[in-house]
Structure 1
Amino acid sequence: MYVLKPGIKKNPEKRWALPDRIFFGYGACHILAGVFLQCPPLEGFHAERIIPHESFWGGHMYVTNGIIAFDYHGYSGRERLLEHHRKGWASHSPGWGCAIERVDFDPLNTAELNQRKMRGPDQYLHDPIPRARNFIERRNHARDAAKALETTFA
């Protein structure tokens, strides 16, 4: 698990300068999920959110078909992603727990996101949508999803 240095998320220039995986893994995961769903490379996916229990950090959004998931890691088994996330945050915050919720709002709508304490696409230094699209387009989705599915049932 990667931990950002204090102040990076509040500094627009430093946040934008992060490598893609860190940018989309630590503060812009909802942008990646929203762009994935705009023009899905694979059918049957929807967004879900990890919502930490009150007074804890560690929220995350990803897309899933219920078996495999896609986020800044690429494709993995959904349960594996959830366990990885839980272990990472629990190791930093004893007692960490969360709820998993299907996203019922547009992950690219600024007003909807702000209600949930997330930034809209227009609230970053530059437009993150082309950056997310490029991140997604660099993947071989059929191959990577098949590999994740294979390891899920291995």
Structure 2
Amino acid sequence: MTAEAAGAFRRTALERSDQRIAWDRPDQAFFAAGACHILAWVCRDSYPDRPIDIVGVRSADGWQVFHAYALWDGWAFDHSGWNPEPDLLAVNTTFEGRPLESVKIVDGLAGFCETHHSRMPHQYWQDPLPRARDYVSRHTPPWA
């Protein structure tokens, strides 16, 4: 799967206000916009023997992360599956039409959610963790 910009899957106003409607989107859309951070942490937890980092994407002149992904040895995992990190950043930069930067996330999931106004798993319409585990399992990691 080729890297796609997370912004191409942004939630509508209705999807932002109604968790059930947001939940009913296809997996790629769900994990591109609204649950990317959940997918990133599940990916890291799925491979405890690998030093996988969590990385956020933000405007080069801002602090707010708008997309998160897992990173291992130059390979990024997000809604697009595994792709070279430069490809993921390039496609997002092109889509957003402004300079972006990646930042390593050092907070845990709860800290990330608090800082970046994201939902914890219990705040979704249903538990997103099993859905994220299934999504991760459908993508072959680069070391396999």
TM-score by length of 2: 0.82
Measure, in 2, the Cα distance between the counterparts of 1:87 and 1:54.
17
% identity of equivalent residues: 24
Measure, in 2, the Cα distance between the counterparts of 1:11 and 1:68.
33
CA offset at residue 45 of structure 1?
Answer: 1.8
Measure, in 1, the Cα distance between the counterparts of 2:31 and 2:20.
15
The number of residues matched between the two structures is 136
Within 5 A, what are the aligned runs for 1:104-143? 104-107=106-109, 109=110, 112-141=112-141
2:108 pairs with 1:101: no
Gaps of 5+ in 2: 1-7
What root-mean-square deviation, in Å, do the aligned CA atoms of Structure 1 and Structure 2 show?
2.4
Measure, in 1, the Cα distance between the counterparts of 2:112 and 2:66.
16
Q: Which amino acid aligns with 1:101?
A: V
Measure, in 1, the Cα distance between the counterparts of 2:140 and 2:107.
28
2:83 pairs with 1:81: no
Larger radius of gyration: 1
Pick from 71, 76, 80: which aligns with 1:64? 71
Within 5 A, what are the aligned runs for 1:47-58? 47-52=54-59, 53-54=61-62
2:92 partner SS: helix
Gaps of 5+ in 1: 91-95, 148-154
Q: Which residue of 1 aligns with 2:47?
A: 40
2:17 partner SS: coil
CA offset at residue 138 of structure 1?
Answer: 1.9
CA contact 1:37–1:46 (8 Å) conserved in 2:
yes
Measure, in 2, the Cα distance between the counterparts of 1:3 and 1:116.
16
Q: In 2 relative to 1, CA 82–26 (structure 1 residues): closer, same or farther, beyond 3 Å? A: same
1:9 partner SS: helix
Q: In 2 relative to 1, CA 105–68 (structure 1 residues): closer, same or farther, beyond 3 Å? A: same
CA contact 2:56–2:65 (8 Å) conserved in 1:
no
1:37 partner SS: helix
Q: Which residue of 2 aligns with 1:152?
A: none
Measure, in 2, the Cα distance between the counterparts of 1:112 and 1:22.
21
Q: Which amino acid aligns with 1:27?
A: G
Measure, in 2, the Cα distance between the counterparts of 1:42 and 1:135.
19
Measure, in 2, the Cα distance between the counterparts of 1:40 and 1:146.
11
